[in-house]
Amino acid sequence: MTFKKSLLAVAGSLTLAVSSLSISTAVQANPHSDYVPYQASPSKPSNSCKWYQAWCHTKYAVNYAEYLVKKAQVDSTNYANRYNTKYPIVLVHGVSGFDKVLGVVEYFQGIPSALRSGNAVVYTPNVTAWDDAYARGEQLLDYIENTVLPETGASKVHLIGHSLGSPTSRYVAGVSPEIVASVSSVNGINYGSGFADWGIDNIVGGPLQGPAEALLNLTGNVLDALAGNPEYSNDALESIKFMSTEGALAFSEQFPDGEPTSYCGNGESLVNGVHYYSWGSTGTFTNLLDVSDPLLALFDQLGYYNGEKTDGVVAKCSQHWGQNIRDDYRMNHLDATNMLFGLHNLLETNPKTLYKNQADRFRGMDL
Beta bridge partners of 270: 275
Q: Which of 32, 275, 333, 344 is catalytic?
A: 333
Q: Which of 99, 131, 132, 163 is catalytic?
A: 163
- What does residue 223 show for φ and ψ, rounded to 5 degrees? -60, -45
Q: Which of 132, 224, 293, 311 is catalytic?
A: 311
Please measure the distance between the N-terminal and C-terminal CA atoms of the chain and give it in whole angstroms: 37
d(CA 10, CA 14): 6
Count the Cβ atoms, other than its own, within 10 Å of residue 86. 23
Told to judge if 311 belongs to the known catalytic residues of this protein, a careful annotator would answer yes
Told to judge if 163 belongs to the known catalytic residues of this protein, a careful annotator would answer yes
SS (H, E, C) the chain: CCHHHHHHHHHHHHHHHHHHHHHHHCCCCCCCCCCCCCCCCCCCCCCCCCCCCHHHHHHHHHHHHHHHHHHHHHHHHHHHCCCCCCCCEEEECCCCCCCEECCCEECCCCHHHHHHCCCCCEECCCCCCCCCHHHHHHHHHHHHHHHHHHHHCCCCEEEEEECCHHHHHHHHHHHCHHHEEEEEEECCCCCCCHHHHHHHHHCCCCCCHHHHHHHHHHHHHHHHHHCCCCCCCCCHHHHHHHHCHHHHHHHHHHCCCCCCCCCCCCCCCEECCEEEEEEEEECCCCCCCCCCHHHHHHHHHHCCCCCCCECCCCECHHHCCCEEEEEEEECCCCHHHCCCCCCCCCCCCCHHHHHHHHHHHHHHCCC
Active site residues: 163, 311, 333
